Amino acid sequence: MGKTKEIVILSGKGGTGKTTVAASLAELIHDKIIVDADVDAANMYLLMEPENIMETEFKGKSIANINTSICTSCNLCKELCRFNAIEVINGDYVVEDISCDGCRLCQTACPVDAIEMVEQIVGKWIIADTRFGDFIYARLNPGAENSGNLVAMVKRQSKLTAEEKNISTILIDGPPGIGCPVIASLSGSDYVIVVTEPSFSGISDLKRVLKLTEHFRIKTGIVVNKFDINVENTEKIEKFAQENKVEVLAKIPHSFCIIEEISKKNIPSINCKELKKPVIEIYNKIKDYFEAEMAN
Amino acid sequence: MKAFIAVENNAGIDSRLDNRFARAGYFMVYDMESDKILSIEENRFKNGAHGVGIETGNYLIKSGCKLAIGANPGPKAESILRAGNIEFYIAENCTAKEAIERYRAKA
Amino acid sequence: MFIAVASGKGGTGKTIVSTSLALVAKNSTYIDLDVEEPNGYILLKPEIEKEIPFNLKIPKIDEHVCTFCGKCADACVYNAISIIPNLKKTLFYPDLCHSCGHCTYVCPVNGAIKEVDREIGKIRMGKSKELKFIEGRIDVGVISGVPIISWIVNNYIDFNEINIVDSSPGTSCPVVESVKKSDYIILVTEPTPFGLSDLKLAVEIAKNMGKKAGIIVNKDTGIKNIDVYAKEVNIPILLKIPYSIEVQKSYSKGIPLVEAIPEMKGKFVELIDKIICENGKN
């Protein structure tokens, strides 16, 4: 029994079909845990129909809180704060929760110890049963930060569950962008699938994501979604992939079927032939890669 | 010489090594001369958001240990161990006792 | 006037909408605050006149002066500093540093920590015909886009003019930062269950911040899930952009919507006039 394999699906830009590919792959892999790490806007649960939901509150960073009865309004904290998080409202010094970064500088500096750090509840992570297996996802409270932290938490939980139940694959629907949540979703992963589309922005985002996976030295493959919308750009992506020694795993055509199926909350690869074939291709290529790795 | 051993649980010298270094369950400090466990403490950094490798590395430096035993450390923990001239012995899938024996057999 | 274009979910057409609005509004400025993935330039093709590096302050420890007391490392909640006293060594990890200044503040030795600049991104400014163009972009691997967003909002926006801001996608900190000072928020969504689920989060943010908002439905297939929800929360649907392969094809070629589909131009002119008339300060 080898180590549990972690596959992360990324896109750079949102809306390229990341969740569609993730859900379709999830349907193909038998022995797996599905993780929705797109904690800012988790969507996969809409297709998964989770049951037996167990929610756990998630505490994020601590932020400063000023006790106004002790505060002498000396203004030192406000002067020092680099995040402009301290405001004076009706003569009282208050911390603006959204801006506070939790650095504790104000707490250290306060001459009368009027500042304490208070842990924030920023969201919750959820473990549930689905007809596709264990499903772990998280929801961040709107406007809350620290999604990188929550991603790490969700990943840790999925690893624990995988070890406990001896599950071989963790499939992670990663966050969009290239920021902290994405970095958190990458750490410790074994394979990254980047879903892109043949638009200029798709290509420029793809390049940025590849820079990141290269930095972490994680094996990466590309999926071109809606490749037939701009064949010329698709060729550019293929050329770029070749130059950078990254494999194009599959190309998925534009399809109304996929949109219709998602609107019905179905996993689209079940009824859309044009999606099923490329998804099987992706699955086989990744399986081959892991088998070759094991043999080494 | 004192050794810093990253273990999964607290079962004395039979504690199993954790497969993560900086985020291990417990840290054991072991005196190689007198063959005694000096302390086993729960790792309070393991659920940190960022820089856990550094927190653990800083903690190790402060403990005064010159040898670290455990799973392969991440890049940040490794950089601190290297800067601190801490000898590192990678061991996995065994107990603390077995790891110490293996280390001695090697040395 | 500051109009923020946002969307809970990425890929709903936020950039298509914000560039279209900017192109039809007279004397406007388009500001791309989707700093992780700024894409507006692809459609607007601006001539870049100025490129300014955006720096944050990071500590630099002088090992000749430092006493290796370790107070800075203890103060740093981000674990960006490591001190090895017996070997008189210091380690610093810039990618973990949040530039809070705590280490410099607690350092008891004069001159042991100096603050130096670290470039984390760039602000580009230029013009696309009549349209003014500003873009913030952070380097790959930089933890947070919030500092550059807040810098641009506080220093580069002329509130007497019309500013169309393309905000970050999602519903976390960067979005809050980019819509904080807005007069009106346009939420772009699509009529799928995903689109609706993310729209709900975005609406919650707008409501929590006490902002006026309207919805644009992109990739409209005739499904009414957004209409039902919009009515429920009493937010107007400003415009529907039909689902069409033409729209997607023109986007993939880098052609703005109002140029590719002329009938959309009239609709966007109407829309911007209406928003300015109802929400404008002057």
Instruction: Please tell me the predicted confidence (pLDDT) of residue A147.
Output: 67
Indicate if A23 and A151 belong to the same structural domain. yes
Note whether C203 and C180 are within 8 A (CB). Answer: no
Which chains lie within 8 Å of chain B at 3 or more CB pairs, if any?
A, C
Instruction: Please tell me the predicted confidence (pLDDT) of residue C252.
Output: 85
Share of chain A above pLDDT 70, in %: 98
Q: Which of residues 194-253 of C touch A (CB under 8 A)?
A: 194, 197-198, 201-202, 204-205, 208-209, 219, 221, 223, 243, 245, 248-249, 251-253
Is residue A175 situated within a structural domain? Answer: yes
How far is it, in rounded angstroms, from Cα B3 to Cα B100? 9
Band of residue A116 on the pLDDT scale cut at 50, 70, 90: very high
Instruction: Please tell me the predicted confidence (pLDDT) of residue C282.
Output: 47
Q: Which string of b and e fits B21-31 if b means at least 16 CB within 10 Å?
A: bbbbbbbbbbe
SS3 C184: strand
Instruction: Please tell me the predicted confidence (pLDDT) of residue C271.
Output: 93
Residues of C with CB below 8 A from A211's CB? Answer: 140
For residue range B49-102, list pLDDT tens digits in order: 677 889 999 999 999 999 999 988 877 888 899 999 999 999 888 999 999 999
Cβ-count burial of C55 within 10 angstroms (0-12 exposed, 13-18 middle, 19+ buried)? Answer: middle
For residue A236, give every residue at least 6 positions away whose Cβ sits within 8 Å of its Cβ, in sequence order, or none: A198, A203
Looking at the complex, report in whole angstroms how far the Cα of residue C221 sits from the nearest Cα belonging to chain A: 9
| Domain that residue A242 falls in | 5-49+131-295
Residues of B with CB below 8 A from A153's CB? Answer: 47
Flag if A142 and C204 touch (Cβ within 8 Å). yes
How many domains does the structure of chain A reveal? 2
How far is it, in rounded angstroms, from Cα C156 to Cα A233? 35
Question: Which chain A residue has its CA at the smallest distance from B19's CA?
Answer: A3
Domains of chain C with CATH codes: 2-54+121-279 (3.40.50.300), 63-111 (3.30.70.20)
CB pairs under 8 A between A and B: 10
Report the CATH number that the domain containing residue A65 is assigned in CATH: 3.30.70.20
Looking at the complex, report in whole angstroms how far the Cα of residue C6 sits from the nearest Cα belonging to chain A: 13
What number is the average pLDDT over the span A139-162? 81
Indicate if A169 and A248 belong to the same structural domain. yes
Note whether A153 and A58 are within 8 A (CB). Answer: yes
What number is the average pLDDT over the span A162-168? 91
Last residue of a domain, one of A89, A121, A153: A121
For residue range A271-291, list pLDDT tens digits in order: 999 999 999 999 999 999 999
The residue of B9, B23, B47, B52 whose CB has the most chain A CBs within 10 angstroms, and thus the best one to mutate to test that interface, is B47
Report the CATH number that the domain containing residue B34 is assigned in CATH: 3.30.420.130
Residues of C with CB below 8 A from A265's CB? Answer: 193
Q: Which of residues 228-287 of A touch C (CB under 8 A)?
A: 229-230, 233, 254, 259, 262-263, 265
For residue range A46-57, list pLDDT tens digits in order: 888 899 889 999
Indicate if A99 and A181 belong to the same structural domain. no
Band of residue A256 on the pLDDT scale cut at 50, 70, 90: confident
- Sheet strand arrangement including B2-7: B36-42, B26-31, B2-7, B67-70, B87-90
Indicate if A235 and A141 belong to the same structural domain. yes
For residue C106, give every residue at least 6 positions away whose Cβ sits within 8 Å of its Cβ, in sequence order, or none: A108, C71, C72, C74, C75
Instruction: Please tell me the predicted confidence (pLDDT) of residue A1.
Output: 41
Flag if B51 and C78 touch (Cβ within 8 Å). yes
Point out the residues of chain C with pLDDT beneath 70.
280-282
Indicate if A110 and A136 belong to the same structural domain. no
Looking at the complex, report in whole angstroms how far the Cα of residue B14 sits from the nearest Cα belonging to chain C: 31
Report the CATH number that the domain containing residue A155 is assigned in CATH: 3.40.50.300
Residue C192 is nearest to which of A84, A211, A262, comparing CB atoms?
A262
Indicate if A104 and A176 belong to the same structural domain. no
Q: Which string of b and e fits A50-88 if b means at least 16 CB within 10 Å?
A: beeeeeeebebbbbbbbeeeebeeeebbbebbbbebbee
Model ipTM?
0.78
Is residue A27 situated within a structural domain? Answer: yes
Indicate if A183 and A246 belong to the same structural domain. yes
Instruction: Please tell me the predicted confidence (pLDDT) of residue C3.
Output: 93
Question: Which chain A residue has its CA at the smallest distance from C252's CA?
Answer: A199
Indicate if A41 and A66 belong to the same structural domain. no
Q: What are phi and psi of A227, to 5 degrees?
A: -60, -30
How many domains does the structure of chain B reveal? 1
Residue A101 has pLDDT above 80, yes or no: yes
Last residue of a domain, one of A77, A93, A121: A121
C142 and chain B: CB distance < 8 Å anywhere?
A: no
Count of residues in chain B: 107
Indicate if A95 and A242 belong to the same structural domain. no
| Domain that residue B96 falls in | 2-106
Q: Are β-strands C213-220 and C237-242 bridged in parallel, bridged antiparallel, or unpaired? A: parallel
Instruction: Please tell me the predicted confidence (pLDDT) of residue C15.
Output: 92
Note whether A262 and C221 are within 8 A (CB). Answer: no
Q: What are phi and psi of C254, to 5 degrees?
A: 80, 25
C87 and chain B: CB distance < 8 Å anywhere?
A: yes
Flag if B51 and C87 touch (Cβ within 8 Å). no
C150 and chain A: CB distance < 8 Å anywhere?
A: yes
Indicate if A91 and A215 belong to the same structural domain. no
Helix (H) or strand (E) holding A224: strand A220-225
Flag if A61 and B49 touch (Cβ within 8 Å). yes
Instruction: Please tell me the predicted confidence (pLDDT) of residue A146.
Output: 62
Instruction: Please tell me the predicted confidence (pLDDT) of residue C196.
Output: 92
Indicate if A223 and A276 belong to the same structural domain. yes
The residue of B2, B23, B46, B54 whose CB has the most chain C CBs within 10 angstroms, and thus the best one to mutate to test that interface, is B54
- Interface residues of B toward C, Cβ cutoff 8 Å, are 48, 50-52, 54-55, 57-58, 61, 76, 79-80, 83-85
Q: What angle do CA C8, C12, C18 make, to 5 degrees?
A: 90
Q: What is chain A's mean pLDDT, rounded?
A: 89
Flag if C248 and A254 touch (Cβ within 8 Å). yes
Flag if B61 and C84 touch (Cβ within 8 Å). yes
